[in-house]
Structure 1
Amino acid sequence: MTIKQEILNKIKTYDTIIIHRHVRPDPDAIGSQVGLLKAIKATYPEKRVFSVGENDPSLTYLATMDQVQSDYYKSALVIVNDTANRPRVDDERFSEGEAIIKIDHHPEVDPYGDISWVDPTASSTSEMIYQLTDNTLKNRLEITDDVARLLYAGIVGDTGRFLFPSTSTQTFEVASNLVAYNFDRSTLYNKMYEVDQSLAKLKGYLLQQVDVESNVTSVKLTKEILNEYKVSPDDTSKLVGTYGDIKGVSAWAIFVEEEDIIRVRLRSKQNAINELAARFNGGGHALAAGATVYSWQEADQLITELQQLCR
């Protein structure tokens, strides 16, 4: 029995299903989470299916989360999407489920769950969820226009509009099948990539700070700078690709100061950076990762190691 068939059989068995994803979600986290929810509901209208986690105001155009009573977990199947390690799961109650399924496309760093489907070759977890609608599978999930919209958003988000190396022939095939459904792609793109004026001005600041050394550039967004531009730390996620088009830059780091930590967004065009991120309390994909440092001195150390990696 394939892992996909095992997951579908487990979904059919449970009357209550609660779906989680990682903290500080992106379009793939929300798209795969709620896309799976709506696919299950379309297939089994009688089941109680919930998506949980903090609502991110920048992603409510995709979906909003449910409020779930804690006692529901006792007899529930919990599915955790797009989350490589347990500390990053949004809502710690995920561990209270009767059974847990992990579905993820990040490199395996923390095996968990009664069933674990991890495929780092997939462009996104949304692409993996689409595979559960394959008509060759028994108990396959149904796909609707809204399921297609959510999964397509997840794929577009995690492939950088199909520009990242993770985009495969299968990714294009899945995307071509999804766009055959009835949803407004233009409106979806506008919602995904529009920024307000304060964020646009901060992007200008990032570009003014370009200083390339050993093929690396970086920027430190302190609390004072964020306050000056009236931008929240979460909003800066939309600027992570700012340095990607600059000639001579092969990798970059954006440091964002929060209350008691400094969040690091790492990107690379060539050299794998996920092991570097892991050394600084993070992880992720080979060319797109995140980390956490606790001082600007530690931030400088990360920059030095990134430069050494890219020389």
Structure 2
Amino acid sequence: MINKLLELVKQYQTIIIHRHVRPDPDAIGSQGGLAYLIRDNFPNKNVYVVGEESESLQFLMPMDNIEDQIYSGALVIVCDTANRERISDTRYSNGAELVKIDHHPVVDAYGDPQWVNTQSSSTSEMITSIYQTHPELKLSPEAARLLFAGIVGDTGRFQFSNVTSDTYLAAARLVKQSFDRQSFFNQLYQRSLAQTRLNGYVLEHFTLTEEGVGFVKLSQELIRSYKLNPSDASALVNSFANVEHLKAWVLFSEEDTVIRARLRSKGPEINQLAAKYNGGGHPMASGASVRSWDEADQLIQDLCMLCKKD
């Protein structure tokens, strides 16, 4: 698959790289890391990264604004996105060919070819494997920084069960480059004063059930009272992750027309539950959407049943 991907890159003058909406570090890290791989090693090609901006992750890489006509005859690559509905920027289908690179379980078999490796910790680790199998390729410090960011983000700083020996080898390859890791970590985990105050609210008001389920509900009115937006609130999903007896947890963040649910687990696999509620993801980290607080309560009940069986 790596060789096939590189052959496709060589064939096209214009490459446009997408990723999923509401991006996390792996989405931007893999998207940007792949963009730098192509730019650094094929400097005559036109490479663009597209999607909505994320204020908290803008320090990683800004997005490009491109006209519709640039898609004509272009190779389009989508990183870290399991299904088409979650691809940021709907123009992804306007190119000549579409490629999928992802590490999530397959729920939508789009793209040809599809490079999917569910055993990989992150899509950024998959992109790093291109360098590891082709040592002749140049790895710039900026590419290394972005790919390292993606691996760190999707492994919880190498704490999650998705970490393998290959993950550590990939990280070791990246940190040989001269990017400022301390500055990266400072920016990645930096919170505004408003987010810190909302974090205090979350810690004070989350509920822990006897089944080991933790949950907190953040209404749109509450989020706005802190002068924050729903994505700022959702970023606090791991605020109470280290509480004793906690097996799985969910943070609800209300938007204009939907309530986002961020689910996390220390044992029970939650991605099938997330799929039941218009979402999906990894066995230990998933996202979902509910249409009302009553439906949010039903999700909590289902999560309690799941933890009770575990």
Task: Using structure 2 for the length normalisation, give the TM-score.
Answer: 0.97
Match of 2:296 in 1: 299
Contact 2:234 2:252 in 1 (8 A): no
Contact 1:40 1:142 in 2 (8 A): no
The letter for the 2-side match of 1:254 is L
Contact 1:22 1:83 in 2 (8 A): yes
Give the secondary structure class of the aligned counterpart of 1:217: strand
Q: How far apart are the structure 2 equivalents of 1:68 and 1:267?
A: 36
The letter for the 1-side match of 2:267 is Q
Which of the numbers 237, 240, 255 marks the counterpart of 2:237?
A: 240
Contact 1:22 1:29 in 2 (8 A): yes
Identical columns (%): 49
Pairwise CA RMSD of aligned residues? 1.1
Q: How far apart are the structure 2 equivalents of 1:296 and 1:136?
A: 51
Give the secondary structure class of the aligned counterpart of 2:207: coil
Which of the numbers 49, 59, 62 marks the counterpart of 2:60?
A: 62
Contact 2:29 2:146 in 1 (8 A): yes
The letter for the 1-side match of 2:185 is Y
Contact 2:234 2:253 in 1 (8 A): no
> Which shifted more, 208-217 or 51-60?
208-217
Task: Using structure 1 for the length normalisation, give the TM-score.
Answer: 0.97
User: Are 2:121 and 1:123 aligned?
Assistant: yes
User: Are 2:258 and 1:254 aligned?
Assistant: no
Q: How far apart are the structure 2 equivalents of 1:25 and 1:136?
A: 28
Q: How far apart are the structure 1 equivalents of 2:224 and 2:63?
A: 28
Structure 1 residues not aligned, in runs of 5+: none
Q: How far apart are the structure 1 equivalents of 2:235 and 2:35?
A: 26
Aligned pairs for 1:46-125 (under 5 A) are 46-125=44-123
The letter for the 2-side match of 1:297 is D
Q: Give every structure 1 segment of 4 or more consecutive aligned residues whose post-TM-superposition deviation is greater than 2 Å.
A: 134-137
- Return the offset for 1:210: 3.1
Q: How far apart are the structure 2 equivalents of 1:301 and 1:141?
A: 51
Match of 1:177 in 2: 173
Give the secondary structure class of the aligned counterpart of 1:244: coil
- Return the offset for 1:58: 0.9
Residue correspondences, number: 307
Give the secondary structure class of the aligned counterpart of 1:103: strand
- Return the offset for 1:142: 2.5
The letter for the 2-side match of 1:209 is H
- Return the offset for 1:55: 1.0
Q: How far apart are the structure 1 equivalents of 2:198 and 2:183?
A: 24
